[in-house]
Amino acid sequence: MTDWQDLTEEDAIEAAVAEHGKNPTASVAYCALEAYNGRDNEEHRFWFGLFLKLAKREHVGWA
């Protein structure tokens, strides 16, 4: 995704959903996968970190 550096987390989620569908967590995960080029990079870390925040927020209890 272009210009990801200028996005707030909320704007990044909105952009990911606009590009990949309705589910914010899955959309952000797709952005992380697209940013990964076989080695660690800043864009991948941004999207993956945002994915982890969303996934953690959705997790309820141990079930």
Q: What is the pLDDT of residues 14-46, one digit of tens each?
A: 999 999 999 999 999 999 999 998 988 999 999
> What is the per-residue pLDDT for 61?
60
Nearest to 32 by CA among 24, 20, 21, 44: 44
> What is the per-residue pLDDT for 40?
85
> What is the per-residue pLDDT for 58?
73
Q: What is the mean pLDDT of residues 40-53?
A: 95
Give yes or no for a contact between 13 and 1, defined as CB atoms under 8 angstroms apart. Answer: no
The Cα–Cα gap between 48 and 19 comes to: 16
> What is the per-residue pLDDT for 25?
96
The structure's pTM equals 0.86
